[in-house]
Amino acid sequence: MDKNSFSTKVLIIGGGPGGRISYMALRMMGEDNVKIVMNEEPTIICSLPYGVGRKLVPQGPEALVVDLSKGERMPKDMPKDIVHGVVKELDIASKKAYAEEADGQIEISFEKLILATGAVPWIPPVSGVLREGTSSVTSEGKDTWVMYGNELVEKSRLAPNVYVIRGADDARRLDKFASRGKSVVVVGSGAIGLEMTEALHDRGLQVHIVEVLPHLSVALDADMASLIEKRALERGVKAYIGVSVTDVTPEGVVLSDGSTIKADGVLFATGVRPNVALAKACGLKMERGIVVDSHMRTSHPDVYAVGDVVQVVDAPTGRAILPLIGTLAMRQGLVAASNITGMPAELPPVTIWGVSSYFDLHWTSVGWSEEAANKAGIPVKTIVLPVRTRDNAMPLGKNGYWKVVISKEKTPGLKEGQIIGFQAVIEGDPVINLSERFLDIITAKESISEILRHYFAHCPSQNAVDDPYLALFFNYQTTLASKSRPRPI
Ligand SMILES: Cc1cc2nc3c(=O)[nH]c(=O)nc-3n(C[C@H](O)[C@H](O)[C@H](O)COP(=O)(O)OP(=O)(O)OC[C@H]3O[C@@H](n4cnc5c(N)ncnc54)[C@H](O)[C@@H]3O)c2cc1C
């Protein structure tokens, strides 16, 4: 590479899962003239909470940093194609990007571009989150960002007791904090907030979790989430529900009801926003995220975008949604790379999901929850089924619940009785296979009357004899017949 300028056929901006898989796919499909701009160490982001918790990853977050020079999955010569820096300016008319490296500015000309700039943690604009003035800003967290309200700010501006979790450096900071801190406030109880509650609890901290919604776990409805709340209390996690943080102080936080929580650190797990700054500045079509077609092409024919920065079409409803799922970012990278190399590929509409566990309570939420559907004006009814993992006589058996969300009346784009959401909370038994089953059912826009297409295999040592698909169908039919509500939890 020339010191101050060079040309490349394909330029990728962003070295997260979307960017890295785009790079790998291009190279494996024979395109060797590719460069990737990376501002952060590549990391297995999804495992970072486990790196901090150290129960599943005893070596800590360092073990999750990917060494691209070892080339286990990536082409061995990948390091020669990496520009370690940040693209500060992009001109898609002249097809030039301007990146800042340690040594200065570099001008990169490209023929095709893949934007994989991901998402950044979002923090509500409450006082005390940012350091006072600019003189105390550290170099740690420079050129990585959070969205503070509507403002994109460098992480180096976060107050010393404020944490987020997105990259390796965030996890390292939290890991260090966990060895010296005694108490923490986790703000937000989505999957990441809950995983971090458990991780920091495992490290011996007193954890306080604050959730502005009326219950913990935004992906689940209140009835299913009550099991999560019960588990939090059983494990000594203190939950503050229906209140928000209004102020961060060096001693902890102030809540919207006027009360205070004393804590050594405050972790914001309050969601993410697509990092659209570059795309916006160069005029690409934007709605909730960058608008792309099924080929991952943006409004500019030579610019593709993949991962958390784009919006996609929701399979069950046809609405625009933000995917925010790593495995999807990787698929999109493959699709973009295929199209660039002249091997057409398309990404069909998608269903989003969450799967995790919380102190051995395994949960999943696929598609739409009842609460999300109500908020979006989609009329739904629900069926809640108690399930047992083994026959009653078997002490190994554990209890749990399934909840299915079904479209009620004819809503434009939806079938009557269409399954649009699935949730499960089950003690001790992973729910990932169930999650995948319902991902397929929901993506195929199947209605409840089609559920008996799906088989249930039984073996007493593996599961209970009750066929949950039969139970769902039966419950639906009897509900229709009696017009009564299904049994609540
Ligand atoms: C704690 C946690 C747990 C998760 N668990 C799961 C899970 O279990 N399963 C799952 O599927 N997903 C999970 N996710 C979500 C998943 O990590 C994201 O969907 C995925 O990282 C998105 O990939 P991406 O490449 O689009 O973006 P990112 O991973 O955000 O990567 C984008 C990269 O581009 C960089 N960048 C941005 N702008 C520029 C610029 N101008 N110049 C240079 N670089 C730039 C960013 O700093 C970043 O390094 C989790 C996320 C978190 C935070």
Measured CA to CA, the distance from residue 16 to residue 118 in angstroms comes to 7
Closest ligand 1 atom to residue 272 Cα is 53
Helix (H, G, I), strand (E, B) or coil at 472: helix
**251 falls within a domain:** yes
pLDDT, the chain, mean: 93
Do 262 and 178 have their domain in common?
A: yes
Structural domain ending residue among the three candidates 271, 286, 301:
271
Please give the distance, rounded to the nearest whole angstrom, from the Cα atom of residue 23 to the centre of ligand 1: 15
Q: Which of 83, 117, 143, 435 to mutate to test the pocket of ligand 1 (most atoms within 8 A of CB)?
A: 117
Do 158 and 208 have their domain in common?
A: yes
DSSP states of 210-228 = EESSSSS-TTS-HHHHHHH
- Supply the residue whose CA is at minimum distance from atom 37 of ligand 1: 117
Closest ligand 1 atom to residue 37 Cα is 43
- For 179-203, what is the mean pLDDT? 98
Do 140 and 89 have their domain in common?
A: no
**473 falls within a domain:** yes
Q: Is the CB of 39 under 6 A from ligand 1?
A: yes
> How many domains is the chain built from?
3
**347 falls within a domain:** no
Q: Is the CB of 15 under 6 A from ligand 1?
A: yes
Lowest mean pLDDT among 41-55, 137-151, 173-187, 257-271: 137-151
Do 412 and 325 have their domain in common?
A: no
Please give the distance, rounded to the nearest whole angstrom, from the Cα atom of residue 46 to the centre of ligand 1: 9
**132 falls within a domain:** yes
> What pLDDT does residue 103 have?
85
Cβ contact 403:223 at 8 Å = yes
CA distances from 216 to 185, 194, 226, 412 (A): 14, 9, 8, 31
> What pLDDT does residue 437 have?
94
pLDDT tens for each residue of 2-30: 569 999 999 999 999 999 999 999 999 99
**345 falls within a domain:** no
Q: Which two tokens stand for residue 468?
A: 């949950």
Do 421 and 436 have their domain in common?
A: yes
Do 292 and 152 have their domain in common?
A: no
Do 263 and 127 have their domain in common?
A: yes
pLDDT tens for each residue of 439-485: 999 999 999 989 999 988 999 888 888 888 888 888 888 776 665 55
Q: What are phi and psi of 185, to 5 degrees?
A: -105, 125
Helix (H, G, I), strand (E, B) or coil at 278: helix
235: containing domain: 121-271
Structural domain ending residue among the three candidates 292, 315, 340:
340
**53 falls within a domain:** no
Measured CA to CA, the distance from residue 263 to residue 287 in angstroms comes to 38
Q: Record the pTM.
A: 0.94
Cβ contact 385:488 at 8 Å = no
Amino acid letter at 456? F
Cβ contact 49:64 at 8 Å = no
**50 falls within a domain:** no
Do 92 and 147 have their domain in common?
A: no
pLDDT tens for each residue of 20-59: 999 999 999 999 999 999 999 999 999 999 999 999 999 9
Q: Which residues contact 411 (CB under 8 A, 6 or more apart)?
A: 378, 379
Do 395 and 428 have their domain in common?
A: yes
Q: What is the CATH number of the domain that holds 137?
A: 3.50.50.60
Tokens 């050129």 found at: 143
Do 367 and 310 have their domain in common?
A: no
Identify the band that residue 134 occupies on the pLDDT scale cut at 50, 70 and 90: low
Helix (H, G, I), strand (E, B) or coil at 339: helix
- Supply the residue whose CA is at minimum distance from atom 7 of ligand 1: 46
Q: Which of 11, 21, 45, 163 to mutate to test the pocket of ligand 1 (most atoms within 8 A of CB)?
A: 45
Structural domain ending residue among the three candidates 271, 296, 328:
271
Sheet holding 419-427, edge to edge: 353-358, 361-367, 419-427, 399-407, 380-388
**317 falls within a domain:** yes
Measured CA to CA, the distance from residue 275 to residue 290 in angstroms comes to 9
Sheet holding 290-291, edge to edge: 290-291, 310-313, 320-321
Cβ contact 255:245 at 8 Å = yes
Do 146 and 263 have their domain in common?
A: yes
Do 129 and 193 have their domain in common?
A: yes
> What pLDDT does residue 135 have?
47
Cβ contact 461:403 at 8 Å = no
- Supply the residue whose CA is at minimum distance from atom 11 of ligand 1: 326
DSSP states of 117-185 = --EEEEE---BTSBPSTTTT--STTTT-EEEETTEEEEGGGB-TTEE--SSHHHHHHHHHHHHH-SEEE
